Amino acid sequence: MTLGEAKDFSYLYSDETKARKPSPLKTCIHLFQDPNIIFLGGGLPLSDYFPWDNLVVDSPLPPFAKGIGAPLTGTKEDSLKVSIKKQDQSNGTIPLARGLQYGFTNGQPELIKFLKEHNTIIHDMKYADWDVIATTGNTNAWESTLRIFCNKGDVILAEAHSFSSSLASAEAQGVIVFPLPIDQNGIIPEKLEAIMDNWNPEAAKPKLLYTIPTGQNPTGTSLADDRKEKIYRIAQKHDFIIVEDEPYYFLQMEPYIRDPKERTAKKLTHEEFLKSLAKTFLSIDTEGRVIRLDSFSKVLAPATRLGWITASKSILQSYVYLHEMTIQAASGFTQALVAGTLNSWGQDGYLDWLLGLRHEYTLKRDNAIDALHKYLPKTDAFVVNPPIAGMFFTVDIDASAHPEFKAKYDSDPAQVEHAIYEKVISSGVLVVPGSWFKTEGETVPPQPVESKMTGNRNEIFFRGTYAAVSPEKLTEGLKRLSIALKEEFGL
């Protein structure tokens, strides 16, 4: 089947994007690689003077039989030497003479090729002219996205609780972030549709929906596949772009099973693994309306500062023009190391790595949820939400169950939240209040009152992670949290 082309969404661009012209110097940089051209056109230092000739790193060898965290012996059994030379381009490595030079704002070809192949394995792309570009991670990719589409005063949509840095990035640009009601399965399409159908016609319509579909930060929830189809149709009806920010996509786990005896440690085949993954907005997108942000931060290492955007070629061109004037390119060392490693592992080896992560995170999540079930007081006032993806668990708390809700806290859930926060810190553990992640934008003129009902006002929650500490510390931390809540609620 031949696939159609993406639609033109340039009418949604910001004034800045419409005004931006390509940097004239960048229009000829590709000729630097042309052996027939004596390139006297740019301020490029000679690569002979780059003081690195050969980068050699030890990396674990697929299929990571002893687990992805097992220490390396340095032997051929479990270790792989990735060698990146100044000129050599074998095995998909980026020659340092090129990798450490200016240019290739969209990413080095060896990396881009790997990412496009990876995308084709993961997503069922439904239009022809999609592409990927490298970024310095999703923080950068999201900031660029805002700049490309939004003017000061424009409106975007986001989950009612969302990643605070993404919200702050929008607010700093004067962009209004309007909250969408969510439940255990993410954004509720019917509510989104009602909000959009009843949108105050005097206010600017949202240009973007910013969503973290998998292992949402901070709620830990994952957006159900069937909801994605519905949300996509609403996006078409009301003409907004969907931005899926997916740093946790490959931290999808086995579903939580309460009884440890019922759990199986069955190793999935690649086929089973791929089938188990959540459907992506990219896989639904027929017209280039989805921009997907992927990052290596949670699957390789945060300070790689490397990620990629998948979108239509024409939208990506706007990112390239912006990045030429901002980040220029993702770090050459990073691209060389990551492309060298991934191309040595191959696509199958990378799937083995992702499977290994799935295994590790399933154990961590189980450990955390088991401890919460064991230590938290058994009352309807506390609800534990076992996530199926990501790094975060949440404990929902009915603030009105606090014995001093009325007398001391003036029936104000925010005051109860603050008191709990202080109590848990003094008990020697840190979990963070849900209110820190609240999406609170309002349009001018405002939206109807019904559009702002985002749930039970007395329900508060705390976010914790099971990613960052050893199982022993995690259990101890959750024990302390449970004791703090027990004392605070006089149980």
Asked if 379 and 491 count as a contact pair (C-beta separation under 8 A), the reply is yes
Give the residue with the Cβ less far from ligand PMP, 139 or 475.
139
Binding site residues, ligand PMP, CB under 6 A: 137-139, 163, 166, 212, 217, 245, 247, 295, 297, 302, 307
Which one, 297 or 341, has the nearer CB to ligand PMP? Answer: 297
Terminal C-alpha separation, the chain = 63
Neighbours of 77 (CB within 10 A): 10
Q: How far is the CB of 301 from ligand PMP (least distance, A)?
A: 10
Q: How far apart are CA 382 and CA 399, in angstroms?
A: 9
The conformational region for residue 222 under phi > 0 = left, psi -120 to 50 = alpha, else beta, is beta
Shortest distance (Å) from residue 245 CB to ligand PMP: 5
Residue whose CB is less far from ligand PMP, 155 or 309:
309
Q: If we measure between CA atoms, which residue out of 251, 217, 249, 213 comes closest to residue 357?
A: 251
Q: How far is the CB of 140 from ligand PMP (least distance, A)?
A: 6
CB of 137 to ligand PMP, least distance (A): 3
Q: How far is the CB of 247 from ligand PMP (least distance, A)?
A: 5
Cβ nearer to ligand PMP, comparing 141 with 224: 141
Give me the residue whose beta carbon is nearest to ligand PMP: 137
For ligand PMP, which is the closer residue by CB, 45 or 302? 302
Please tell me what DSSP assigns to residue 275.
H
Alpha carbon distance 407, 17 (integer Å): 54
Neighbours of 84 (CB within 10 A): 24
For ligand PMP, the closer of residues 435 and 458 by Cβ is: 435
Smallest gap from Cβ 296 to ligand PMP, in A, equals 7
Contact between 171 and 119 under an 8 Å Cβ cutoff? The reply is no
CB of 304 to ligand PMP, least distance (A): 9
Q: Where are the alpha helices (DSSP H) in 104-181?
A: 109-122, 138-149, 164-172
Residue 391 or 399: the one with the smaller Cβ distance to ligand PMP is: 391
Q: Retrieve residue 215's tokens.
A: 């292992």
